[in-house]
Amino acid sequence: MREVVRHGMTFDGMPKAELHLHLDGALPPETILLLAERNGLRDLLPGETEEAIAGWFVFQDFDHFLNVKRTIKKLLRSADDFALAVYAVGRELAAQHVRYAEITVTPYTFIDVLGHGVTLDGMFQGLESGRQQARSEFGIELRWVFDIPRNRAFADYHRGGAYVAGAAESTLAYALRGREFGVVGLGFGGNETNAPPEPFAQVFAEAKRQGLRSVPHAGESEGAASVWGAIRALQADRVGHGVRAVEDERLLDELAARQIPLEVNMTSNVSLNFCSRIQDHPLPSWIGRAFWSQSTPMTPNSSTPRSPESTSCLLMSSVTRRLMSFASPGMPSWLAVRTPPQKRGCWRNWTVGPRSVFRVSRACAPAARSLRGAAITGRV
C-alpha cells in the first residue's frame, strides 16, 4: 500500500486531532519513572527501567488495565506533577502533528478517593501550566474532559446496586469550575458491568444545560444497550468506544440519523482483549455499510497509547492503513482527508462515508483554527 501524499506531505505529517485519550494512560515511561522518583514511590512500579514500565502495559484484562491506571494516578501528587504530565503528553502528541486534543482526567479519584492531598485548585494550576507550556512550545491546543468514575456511584463498586450520589455530582461541579481552564465535556468511564448509564441522566442533563458536552464511554465492555442508554439518557454528543453498537442494526441507523460520532479505539480494544486481533475488529463492517447506506460518524483514536498495540500517542496513520486494508474490491481505492470551513460551537469528528474514506466535519472553533488549510487526497 502506497503512502498517501500531496504537496510533499504524508499522512504522518498532516495536522490531526485526538479526541479520546486518557492522561493516566498516555504518560511516557520516562515521565512515569520521574514522577515515582520525585514522590518516593518507586515501590509502586514493576521495575526501574523504561522497558519494565512498557511491559507493565501488557494488560491481562479490563480490571488489570484499571489497576495500572489507578497506580499511575497515585504518582500525581502536586500541581507540578500534573504540569509535568500534561507537558509530556503534549510533547508526544505534537511530535505526531496533533494540533488539537481532548484529554480525559478523573478529578474525583485524585481529590476524593486517593486522599493524597490533591486539591481542585492545585489540579487546575498544574493542568493549566502544562497546557500553556505545551501550547507555547509546540503550538498544540489541549482541552479537558472530566470523567465520572461510574463504579463509585453505586452501593457496591463491583456488583452495582443502588445509585449513590456523590461521585457524579462532584465531578460535574469540578467540571463547571474548570470551564475557564479548558474543560469542555463531561465524561463517564470505568467498567460498564453493573453500572448502566440511566441513573446519571440528571447529572448529564445539567451538564448540557450549563454548556458542557456529553461524552460518555459506552459499548466497550457491555453491549448495544449501554450505547442506547448513553444516547437516550445521557444525551451523548459523542460516544466513547461504542464498538458494540455493531450488534444492533437499529442502533447503527439511529447513530447515523442523529450523526452521533463513535470514538473508536481499535488498538485499545485489542490490548484489553475485547477483540482478539485487529482483523476481527467490527470496524470493517461499518466501512462496508457506510459505502452503501447512511454513514455512522466515527473518530479513530488511541485511548491508552502506552499499551503494546499503541506504541505512540496517536496511531492515526497506522490505523488508517489498517482500515484501508479492510476495503473490499468494490470500494473506492482512494483516501480523502479535508478540513472544512470553521464552524463555531461544534466538535471535530472523522466520518466514514460513501464519498470519502475519511471526511473531517463539524470542526470546533479551536480545532478549525489550528487545522485550517490541511488537505490530503491520494490513491492507495
To the query of whether residue 48 is one of the catalytic residues in this protein, the response is no
How far is 227 from 198, CA to CA, in rounded Å?
11
Residues 6 or more apart from 263 whose CB is under 8 A from it?
19, 20, 215, 238, 239, 240, 241, 242, 298, 299, 301
User: Could you give the dihedral angle defined by the CA atoms of residues 312, 318, 319 and 322, in that order, rounded to the nearest 10 degrees?
Assistant: -150
Q: Determine how many CB atoms are found less than 10 A away from the CB of residue 155.
A: 10
What DSSP string describes 240-270?
EE-GGGGG-HHHHHHHHHHT--EEE-HHHHH
Query: Residue 120 burial (CB < 10 Å; 0-12/13-18/19+)?
Result: middle
One of 18, 92, 141, 220 is an active-site residue; which one? 220
Task: Give backbone dihedrals phi and psi of 253, rounded to 5 degrees, phi first.
Answer: -65, -40
| Residues marked as catalytic | 220
